[in-house]
Amino acid sequence: MSNSNINNTRNVAIVGPYSSGKTTLLESILFVTQKISRKGRIEEKNTVGDSSTEARDRQMSVELSVADTEHQGINLTFLDCPGSVEFVQETYNALVGAGVVVIVCEPLVDKVLTLAPLFKFLDDWEIPHLIFINKMDRCSYGYREILQGLKAVSSRPLVPQQYPIFQGEQCIGYIDLVSEQAYQYHPQQPADPIALPADLAELEQITRQEMLETLAEFDDHLLEELIEEIDPPQTEILQDLKQELGADLIVPVFLGIAGDDFGVRPLLDALVKEAPSPEVTAQRRGLDANAAKIAGDTIVQVLKTYFTAQGGRLSLVRVWQGELTEGIILNGERTSGIYQLRGQQQTPLSSAPIGSIVALGKLEHAATGDTLSSATDTIAPLPQAEAIAPVYALRSHLKTVRMRSNLAVPWVNFWQKTRPYIGNNTAIPAR
């Protein structure tokens, strides 16, 4: 990450049900942005995400994975969240710090209900989000039927920005509904522009008109243009998409096949053009991103706590206000290093601007969800994801004093790492 591009930072959470292709999408993003030279595969246990031993053994996400890249001059940090319901607390903790969220789903109408809890959480927190319909090579439903299914679980109106092009049962490209340009996919290459297929012209017009009418609900000028049958310019449409997404008023929809890199570049373009800036995201949390320029205060929030074999305790934080610098003191503790994470790789940084998501070393008293500040006065804590009630209880009993002595520190570390999931009922008397 470039430390100088304060206004060019975005962070994106990738969420979705188990096996929807989130980690595969992250791998494709890193590949097409040339952050990695070779794509890993989950089956081969060599992806950037899901890099922990347990995740690779189970071939599924079991904790939050972080990776950074750049696209069109914008620094992007991605949070690959686990999709299995057992780890939903981990996902919610991370989403609190996201500027925008990509919901990955399969083109299966009978699975859309699994997205309902995610939509509700994002709507309750007013976090901007968009949808990436993955695995379009396995689509057995009509595209508009899939959209109708998704509309049933979203309280915000859906705004499809693409329409798929099929050749038989194979998805070979898409139509950009903003520019009305059709594109054909090519393996490991950007899609090529092609003539708009004549058999899709009517459906494209219907879907595009629905997109414009949805945007016009929030833009009187656009509504007047539609009433007067004036085709709005692309710049106006893109500006509306950016404003409405940033205000969490709409849910844009994209499509593709992440395993083949299809649709990934348009998704990245949209994140760069439409995702809200860190300042807008901070304002949504009731913070003034520029306040630190006057007061000099930095405010961060802990999204995840890692315990690594070599580096010890790492606190993954979102910078809400101000800037992190080497050796900064937060809540009375001096940080020991600022790191950009990419899977298991840690890159030291000298600073991190507002909007960054980075790891801080050895904050022994900081727990997941905590608000940390460089201010000398106590500040009000930022809202954090509500703890979900545990559904399983486990009681341990150490028989001897020696066992208690040897296991005390490992047990405390384990409890601090997992207390968002196991709760705080640790004061159970041994018998």
Q: Are residues 319 and 363 in the same domain?
A: yes
- With 0-12 CB in 10 A as exposed, 13-18 as middle and 19+ as buried, what is 256? buried
Q: Is the pTM of this model over 0.85?
A: yes
Q: Are residues 163 and 307 in the same domain?
A: no
Q: Are residues 299 and 359 in the same domain?
A: yes
Q: Are residues 155 and 223 in the same domain?
A: yes
- Tens digit of pLDDT per residue, the chain (431 long)? 444 455 688 999 999 999 899 999 999 999 999 999 888 887 777 788 766 767 766 767 778 999 999 999 999 999 999 988 888 999 999 999 999 999 999 999 998 999 999 999 999 999 999 999 999 999 988 999 999 999 999 999 999 999 999 999 899 999 999 999 999 999 889 999 999 999 999 999 999 999 999 999 999 999 999 999 999 999 999 999 999 999 999 999 999 999 999 999 999 999 999 999 988 898 888 887 665 554 568 999 999 999 877 768 899 999 999 999 999 999 999 999 999 998 888 999 999 988 999 999 989 999 999 999 998 787 889 999 998 887 776 677 767 766 666 666 666 666 555 555 555 444 433 33
User: Residue 369: which domain range?
Assistant: 292-373
Asked if residue 383 is part of any domain, the answer here is: no
Asked if residue 138 is part of any domain, the answer here is: yes
Q: Are residues 235 and 300 in the same domain?
A: no
CB atoms within 10 A of CB 249: 18
Q: Are residues 156 and 264 in the same domain?
A: yes
Contacts of 169 (CB under 8 A, 6+ apart): 139
Q: How many domains does the chain have?
A: 3
Question: Which of 242, 268, 284 is the last residue in one of the domains?
Answer: 284
Question: Which of 284, 305, 325 is the last residue in one of the domains?
Answer: 284
Please report where in the chains the tokens 């600022």 appear, as a residue: 338
CATH code of the domain covering residue 18: 3.40.50.300
Q: How far apart are CA 63 and CA 234, in angstroms?
A: 40
Take residue 23 and report the two structure tokens written for it.
Answer: 């980690």
Q: How far apart are CA 255 and CA 136, in angstroms?
A: 7
